Structure 1
Amino acid sequence: MQRAPNAIQFTTLGTDELVRLYAYPARLESPWIRVNFVASIDGAVTVEGRSGALGGAADHTVFTILRDLADVIVVGAGTARAENYGGARTDVRRRIRLHQHGLGGARDGSPPPVAVVSAGAALDPAGRLFTDTTRPPLVITTAAAAADRKRLLADAGAEVVEAGDTTVTAADLRAALADRGLLRVLCEGGPSLFGELVSAGGADELCLTLSPLLVGGTAGRIAVSPNALPTPMALRTLLVDDDGTLLTRWERAGTRG
């Protein structure tokens, strides 16, 4: 039986130690899809439709490190609209240093692009994804999406990728990212996209922050899909902040020793 790691006090860790704890596997040959979510201890994924109210200082620190490590940030169209996504803002020096050590980042320190999964290419070309970014976004869509929508998004600067006929499956997403050499994948939701990954066995890792709040209400869970696929996971990291926030990192059982 595999033993769970001992809890580590978050405040005792520096940035370099956090980078080591959250580093992607070495020598990746295919995309490693890491999913990041924050939820309340009663399972709410949002407060009044937004996730921002759930995350505290520790969650924000890890959030920025996960983005610094990633080659690409993937998000579903619904979450991009609800959270008013713009381009990623990352630490230039850290991204350069990570690249020099083979841990991700970028040679020039540039942030990872945001890739939005939208079967219908249903995005606003005047939105922040296109106007408030230093990297053009990727729009991962389908052949069936309206040609005029795809043309408008391309004209706004996006790289529009037709990754499926009528839907974008987990395999389609993985292939599109692999074709572009984007192997360190950070998926920031939403629940439908994560649910597709779960039901297809496509999620390699989950970073889940548990906020010390009871929310109630009608907020949904972090993964929703028509089909269930129970997937054994191994707890790799457990951090505890002074306010009771728990930061956990889980991998599919058997993926690493």
Structure 2
Amino acid sequence: MNVGIPISALWPQASARPLDDAALTALYGRSGRPHLRMNFVTSVDGGVSVDGYSAGLSGEADKRVFGLLRMLCDALLVAAGTLRHEGYRAVRLNERRRAWRREHGLAEYPTLVVVSGSLDLDPAQAAFADAPVRPVVLTRADAVAPPGLTGVADVVRCGDDRVDLAAGLAALRRRGLGQVLCEGGPQLFGALTAADLVDEVCLTVAPLLAGAGPGRITAGDASDVRHLPLRHVLAAADGMLMLRYARDRP
């Protein structure tokens, strides 16, 4: 099924024919091993937001891939600050995408996983209160949960002075959540990179100049430079470029 603005492949195998959802699904796919995929959108000049929000950079084609990546994952990982700032609601999929998941032996919905060192979370936020699958919160050992949080989410403690992301991902794998999609924010992306946990980056480049002000898609402490091979380049009729970089782990 092909919906909305056409998306075509530019590389490695160029095709003028628009990609339907089946072709996009095959391009992005699922890994045969535990895998952490990042998904971000940026302006041409590297801005992470417009007027403070990432939505100003997105478009129809980007949203299509955004929804597809959510369909493919077991868990959707997001930092607490991004959850609050972007106003995350419950992670839900349409019937067509839920049917795809059922056909492939997956739960109908991915599990929302929130990283929060302080547990400064609102249990009444729709992301928790209206979730079709009980969310998971990764936090540090001594963080104090606000009243009501354990009623709507599983709190997993990993790390003492900060959240141990490697231990958190291992805890997710024990729950059967091996294919993880991370939507940020920049501090979480930087921490995952520093811990050498990032397997893949899906980056949409919006045909916009955001100007000075917005930060980058990654932030935090410096980390080693790592090679991430380019896997494909897609182009949308609205000028969006969708890039996928991924490494092969031994």
Give TM-score scaled by structure 1 length. 0.87
Q: Quote the Cα distance in structure 1 between the aligned partners of 2:39 and 2:177.
A: 17
Q: Which runs of 5+ in 2 are unaligned?
A: 1-10
1:154 to 150, 154, 159: 150
Q: Quote the Cα distance in structure 2 between the aligned partners of 1:52 and 1:152.
A: 30
1:19 aligns to what? 25
1:208 aligns to what? 203
2:158 aligns to what? 163
1:219-238 to structure 2, matched below 5 A, reads: 219-238=214-233
Give TM-score scaled by structure 2 length. 0.90
1:67 to 66, 70, 83: 70
Letter in 2 for 1:113: T
Letter in 2 for 1:5: P
| Runs of 4+ off more than 4 Å | 6-9
SS in 2 for 1:201: coil
Letter in 1 for 2:234: L
2:45 aligns to what? 42
1:120-135 to structure 2, matched below 5 A, reads: 120-135=118-133
Contact 1:38 1:55 in 2 (8 A): yes
Matching of residue 184 in structure 1 with residue 184 in structure 2: no
CA distance 1:6–1:41, change in 2 (3 Å): farther
SS in 2 for 1:12: coil
How many residue pairs get matched? 240
1:47-62 to structure 2, matched below 5 A, reads: 47-62=50-65
SS in 2 for 1:233: coil
Matching of residue 5 in structure 1 with residue 3 in structure 2: no
Q: Quote the Cα distance in structure 1 between the aligned partners of 2:192 and 2:15.
A: 29
Q: Quote the Cα distance in structure 1 between the aligned partners of 2:244 and 2:18.
A: 18
Matching of residue 76 in structure 1 with residue 79 in structure 2: yes
Question: 1:8 Cα deviation (Å)?
Answer: 5.1
Q: Quote the Cα distance in structure 2 between the aligned partners of 1:200 and 1:92.
A: 37
Question: 1:128 Cα deviation (Å)?
Answer: 1.8
Question: 1:229 Cα deviation (Å)?
Answer: 1.5
Contact 2:91 2:127 in 1 (8 A): no
Instruction: Identify the range of structure 1 (93-102 vs 64-73) with the bigger mean alpha-carbon deviation.
Output: 93-102
Contact 2:140 2:158 in 1 (8 A): yes
Contact 2:80 2:114 in 1 (8 A): yes
Q: Quote the Cα distance in structure 2 between the aligned partners of 1:202 and 1:175.
A: 11
1:249 to 229, 233, 244: 244
Q: Quote the Cα distance in structure 2 between the aligned partners of 1:162 and 1:126.
A: 21
Contact 1:49 1:82 in 2 (8 A): no
Question: 1:255 Cα deviation (Å)?
Answer: 3.6
CA deviation digits over 1:147-199, x for unaligned, max 9? x42x53102x1111112222113312211211211011000000000001111
Question: 1:62 Cα deviation (Å)?
Answer: 0.3
